[in-house]
Amino acid sequence: MSGTGLVLANPFPFFAGPQQLDPSNLRPFADALPLPSVAQPVGLRSHPEKPEEQVPYYRIPIGEAMVKVHRDLPVTRMWTFGATFPGPVLMSAAGRGMIVEWVNQLPARHLLPIDHALHGAGKGVPEVRAVVHLHGGRTPAASDGWPEDWTVPGKSQTCFYPCTQDAALLFYHDHTMGINRLNTYAGMLGMCILHDAREELLSLPRGKYEIPLMICDRLLRTDGQLEYPVSEKRGEVWVPEVFGNAILANGKLLPYCEVEPALYRVRLMNGSNGRFFRFSLANGAEFYQIGSDQGLLPAAVPLKRVTMAPGERADLLIDFGAMRGEQVEFVSDSFTVLQFRVLKTANTKSVVVPEKLHAVPRIAETNAVRTRRLTLDEEMDDVQRPMRMLLNNTPWHAPVTEKPVLNTTEIWELVNLTDDSHPIHLHLVRFQVLDRRRFNVFHYQQTHELRFTGPLVSPDANEMGWKDTVRCDPGMVTRIIVPFEEHTGRYVWHCHVLEHEDNEMMRPFEVVRG
Is the predicted pLDDT of residue 235 greater than 70, yes or no? no
Is the predicted pLDDT of residue 383 greater than 80, yes or no? no
321 falls within a domain: yes
Q: What's the total number of domains in the chain?
A: 1
For residues 324-353, give the mean pLDDT. 91
48 falls within a domain: no
Q: Considering only 60-69, 339-348, 448-457, which range has the smallest mean pLDDT?
A: 339-348
* 196, 427, 184, 21 alpha-carbon torsion, rounded to 10°: 80
pLDDT band per the 50, 70, 90 thresholds, residue 166: very high
Q: Check: pTM over 0.85? Answer yes or no.
A: yes
Predicted pLDDT at 451: 98
300 falls within a domain: yes
* Strands of 295-303's sheet in order across: 252-253, 246-249, 210-218, 263-270, 313-319, 287-292, 295-303
Domain of 273, in residue numbers: 207-342
**DSSP bridge pairs for 158:** 101
Residues 88, 44 contacting (CB under 8 angstroms): no
For residues 237-259, give the mean pLDDT. 96
Is the predicted pLDDT of residue 7 greater than 50, yes or no? no
Predicted pLDDT at 388: 84
Residues 121, 385 contacting (CB under 8 angstroms): no
323 falls within a domain: yes
Predicted pLDDT at 352: 87
438 falls within a domain: no
Is the predicted pLDDT of residue 6 greater than 80, yes or no? no
Predicted pLDDT at 3: 37
Helix (H) or strand (E) holding 54: strand 54-67
The values of phi and psi at residue 366, to 5°, are -70, -15
- How do residues 480-491 score in pLDDT, each as one tens digit? 999 999 999 999
For residues 48-64, give the mean pLDDT. 95
488 falls within a domain: no
- Give the three-state DSSP class for 501: helix
What is the number of H-type helices and E-type strands within the chain?
4, 32
- How do residues 129-147 score in pLDDT, each as one tens digit? 999 999 999 999 999 999 9
Q: Considering only 11-20, 165-174, 230-239, which range has the smallest mean pLDDT?
A: 11-20
Q: Report the alpha-carbon angle 470-471-475, nearest 5.
A: 130
Is the predicted pLDDT of residue 236 greater than 80, yes or no? no
Is the predicted pLDDT of residue 356 greater than 70, yes or no? yes
Is the predicted pLDDT of residue 48 greater than 50, yes or no? yes
Predicted pLDDT at 5: 35
Is the predicted pLDDT of residue 376 greater than 50, yes or no? yes
Where residue 218 sits, what CATH number does that domain have?
2.60.40.420
266 falls within a domain: yes
Predicted pLDDT at 385: 55
Predicted pLDDT at 233: 66
Using CA atoms, how far apart are residues 252 and 278, in angstroms rounded to an integer? 19
35 falls within a domain: no
Predicted pLDDT at 386: 55
